[in-house]
Amino acid sequence: MKKILYIGNNLKSKKSNLSGIQTLGPLLEKEGYKMFYASSKSNKVLRLFDMVKSCLTLSKQIDLVLIDTYSTQNFYYALIVSQLCSALKLPYIPILHGGNLPKRLKRNPKMSQLLFENAKCSVAPSLYLKNAFETFNYKNVVHISNALEVINYPFLNKVYDSPKLLWVRSFSKIYNPKLAVKAFNAIKQTYPNAELCMIGPDSDGTLKDVKALVKELKLNVKFTGKLGKKEWIELSKTYNVFINTTNFDNMPVSVIEAMALGLPVVSTNVGGIPFLIHHNTTGLLVNPDSVNEMTKAILDLMTNKQNRTILIQNARIQAEQYDWVNIKKQWSNILEKDFC
């Protein structure tokens, strides 16, 4: 089996949820791959230095480099590491995570070419990003969905006497958590006993603004902070609707997890979401930042039992397609072959 250096955000931070390196890496280890990781440094300069150092010191020991690639500042980590890999003649594979990466391709075409054209291939977790990259003439893009181990997600029947809303994400402006609070406030007019639980760390100070809105509207919202995977799955048993309020997205694992758990999903129709959720088949899609549409969709779930049951069943079937048992074969195909 090949030896792989995985470059990404490996921080154990209260300000971020599990990243790609922390989910895919251990799964590949289970399959027998020897994995090295960089970086867990919190300081950005030291993190970059650690990534570069790892490439240099391990270059004779490893066969391949995986690079988590985002559209924000972390894009430059991926760019620098990719150029170092090229100089060292190390094959590398960018894993495309940023839902806003298409804008990066348009805004920085030369940098993007340096990063993506010399890669062994790029892995797109969503067809949305694969299609976007192909629009910019990047042909060597392989679609491999984010994976989970379905056995860890119990499919439970819920009681729908009142909306019990679950939101799982980091508190960041791009994920628009205020929409969840505003929709909850509107729902309380019909269901006074409705509940909202928001799980996730504060990544950019948005949590303070959300709590201020909750106080202004005189609502009772449960904030748990960051929870481990097992903790939030256990907590999810007491909720009956999953809401995703983001303004930008790719293929969020939290949504796939909700589908696996038997939670009907109401999500904004942005980025890669419509490639993951088919409206009125595996979930409900609404326009971004629309309180009225989000509220109506949740209320429809409560009253239309037949449609709700169909959505839940279809979503679970789709989530099972992302089981690691299926996805690992696709990873093996590109990791073990000389060409993707």
Between CA 300 and CA 302 the distance in angstroms is: 5
Q: Domain total for the chain?
A: 2
Q: Are both 22 and 107 inside the same structural domain?
A: yes
Does 289 share its domain with 238?
A: yes
Cα separation, 130 vs 340, whole angstroms: 14
pLDDT on residue 100: 87
pLDDT score, position 339? 74
Q: Which residues pair with 266 in a beta bridge?
A: 243, 284
Question: Mapping DSSP to helix (H, G, I), strand (E, B) and coil, where does residue 227 land?
Answer: coil
Do 273 and 302 contact (CB within 8 A), yes or no? no
Q: What is the pTM of this model?
A: 0.91
Domain with 110 in it? 3-146+323-336
pLDDT at 211 (0 to 100) = 98
Amino acid at 22: Q
Q: What is the pLDDT of residue 200?
A: 95
Residues of the chain scoring pLDDT < 70:
13-17
**Phi then psi for 183, rounded to 5 degrees?**
-65, -40
Tell whether 58 and 102 lie within a shared domain.
yes
Q: Are residue 8 and residue 136 in the same domain, yes or no?
A: yes
In a shared domain, residues 33 and 142: yes
Quick one: 112 and 196 in the same domain?
Answer: no
Predicted local confidence at residue 10, as pLDDT: 85
Rg (CA), the chain: 20
The pLDDT, as a whole number, for residue 14 is 61
The pLDDT, as a whole number, for residue 253 is: 92
Query: Is the domain of 235 the same as that of 164?
Result: yes
Domain shared by 198 and 75, yes or no: no
Asked whether 264 and 155 are in contact (CB, 8 A), the reply is no
pLDDT value of position 60: 96
246, 277: one domain: yes
Give the tokens for residue 122: 């790029």
Same structural domain, 203 and 311:
yes
C-alpha separations of 283 from 27, 30, 36, 315 in Å: 28, 32, 38, 7
Q: What is the pLDDT of residues 149-189, one digit of tens each?
A: 999 999 999 999 999 999 999 999 999 999 999 999 999 99
Clarify whether residues 16 and 154 are in a common domain: no
Q: Are residues 229 and 303 in the same domain?
A: yes
**CATH number of the domain to which 70 belongs:** 3.40.50.2000
